[in-house]
Amino acid sequence: MRPLTAEERSTLEQISRARSEPASHVERAKVLLSVADGASYTAAARSVGRRSNDAVAALVARFNCAGVLAIAPRHGGGRSIQYGATERARILSEFRRTPDRAQDGTATWSRTTLQEALRKAADGLPQISTFTIWWVLRDAGSTWQLSRTWCPTGTATRTRKAGPVDVIDLDTTAKKP
């Protein structure tokens, strides 16, 4: 393992003591610190309750290339990610556009009408599924309401004497699963 810089060591120590970090990140930080302190791969694996020194060797190799970013897990197998940041931005831009009744056949977006609009558009996504649309909208902070509309999570329109006011819950991200 390459020598740790002071910044990397302090970051790894901070992550290894953190209670709010994912357990996998804490475990990987502890393994990297024990290897940096001179422990063997087997001893480092056993220090966090693992048996495989091969996983420690792979983590050390990733750390030597990527630095502290090696703590975060990578894509865990399965199908490759089909829709990247540009496609997600395209879905969100179409969603934020107010639908035209004549062109889109609806006054409010549902997953199906949004799918049809994205498939018909010249720069659209011809293979997009309603599940992908739901996933992108949910990840962007919108939820499907009983009023058959999509609303940003954590916001509500309240009627006041001065008129309608949008109220925002500041703890929305903390309440998300």
| Residue where a domain terminates, one of 20, 45, 71 | 71
Asked whether the CA dihedral 106, 109, 110, 114 is positive or negative, the reply is positive
Average pLDDT of span 31-43: 94
Residue 38 tokens read as: 């001179």
**DSSP character at residue 76:** -
Decide which of 53 and 170 is more confident.
53
Burial of 154 (0-12, 13-18, 19+ CB in 10 A): middle
pLDDT of residue 171: 78
In a domain, 76, yes or no: no
Same domain, 91 and 143: yes
Residue 7 tokens read as: 């910044």
Residue 125 tokens read as: 């996504």
Same domain, 112 and 167: yes
Distance CA 91, CA 31 (A): 40
Residue 129: give the domain boundaries: 85-175
In a domain, 132, yes or no: yes
Average pLDDT of span 64-73: 90
Distance CA 51, CA 57 (A): 12
pTM score: 0.50
In a domain, 11, yes or no: yes
Question: 5-9, 49-53, 142-146, 164-168: which range is least confident on average?
Answer: 142-146
Decide which of 20 and 144 is more confident.
20
In a domain, 60, yes or no: yes
Same domain, 64 and 99: no
Same domain, 90 and 165: yes
Average pLDDT of span 12-27: 92
Same domain, 66 and 109: no
Same domain, 65 and 96: no
